Chains A and B, each alone.
Chain A
């Protein structure tokens, strides 16, 4: 089965990005702060519980936790649904000055998505939209140049999938 061919089209990213869930900071003190800030809109909306944020941090701190680094300065912060996901949702934080995922100089990050996946199936369309978006070099370049939350939002939502 070609998952990739399912659910083509539609503005899926926009659908899952909650209002106010797109953030910009010039600087963060480290990856922990980045996770806290990226997760806050989902906490505020009640789509994740506080323990989900703890689970993400624990994962990152463990050996191999940098698997969340997707490349091109983009990280996908996430943990298992049972760690505290209430509803499938997504938020994004762009930081002007790169921070180091897991304090590892090999993993400088400028954009962190916080993904809450309710279960393995419901986030199919969201992941497909995100994969399509992020695997485009043009989008990677646009993302790298973001300098405000409004700009980040327009980059993430203005693109036709």
Chain B
């Protein structure tokens, strides 16, 4: 399974979101999920199973497939909850711990 974070430049906001998603995966006790960040213009549906991005560019990203819109890129509660849901959607086992 692969999660890609996307923003307009592919360097700042998306990178920060990737780091926070890795933190969430660690907190959830899930390993083996690949993560990366990229700019919206370069991302293609084949690049990942799930695409995380800020709510304002989520409409432009709809063609990518499974798109998750984040209200905040630094709210660990929201990120952890949405990562967990995405993992479950794609059949990845999430151990019970937070």
Contact = CB atoms under 8 A, between A and B. Distances in A.
Secondary structure at the B interface, as helix, strand, loop or mixed, is: mixed
Interface residues of A, number: 34
Contacts of A78: 9, 11-13
A131 interface: yes
A9 interface: no
Given A71-B75, A79-B9, A131 B56 contact: no
B26 A2 contact: yes
Interface residues of B, number: 29
Contacts, number: 89
Interface of A: 2-4, 59, 62-72, 74, 76, 78-81, 115, 117, 120, 123, 127-128, 130-132, 134-135, 137, 140
14 contacts: A2-B22, A59-B9, A64-B8, A67-B13, A68-B12, A70-B73, A71-B70, A81-B11, A123-B11, A123-B15, A131-B19, A131-B23, A135-B20, A135-B76
